[in-house]
Amino acid sequence: MLTADTNIWARAYLNDDARQAQLARGVIATACKGEGIFIPLLILAELCWVLGGVWDKDRVVDTLERIFSTDGVTIESHALAERALKDSRAGGAGFADRLIAEVAFAEGVREILTFDKAFARQPHVRRLH
């Protein structure tokens, strides 16, 4: 199994450099058909931020859902990532914020502090004023 940095995934989906996008898509497809590709949670969060800078939230979540369901892709802490994706789809905070919450709460955190109004509407997340 191998892993690909965030910039590989971003190029594959944003197609902002045609040569690199084609190379990135080819490498990902080959890995998925072969030994598989592992995606750490950090890469998912980074990818969400990169894509979210260009696309709307629904398109980002749709893309993440496709990645999650691709044969040959293994997601770190898959159940946590799935819950974050589901919660993000339901509204409120974005995927990266929901992922932060899922990981933190799984590790025993009782409360998350933020300046983000949308994130603060989530359970056990408090906005600092």
Nearest to 98 by CA among 55, 2, 112: 112
* One domain, residues 63 and 91: no
Give the pLDDT mean for 51-64.
96
Angle, helix 57-68 to helix 41-52, in steps of 10 degrees: 150
* One domain, residues 3 and 41: yes
* One domain, residues 57 and 18: yes
Q: Which domain holds residue 5?
A: 1-76
pLDDT tens readout for residues 21-47: 999 999 999 999 999 999 999 999 999
Per-residue confidence band for 93, with pLDDT thresholds at 50, 70 and 90: confident
How confident is the model at residue 61, as a pLDDT?
95
* One domain, residues 67 and 6: yes
* One domain, residues 52 and 4: yes
With 80 as the cut, is the pLDDT of residue 79 above it?
yes
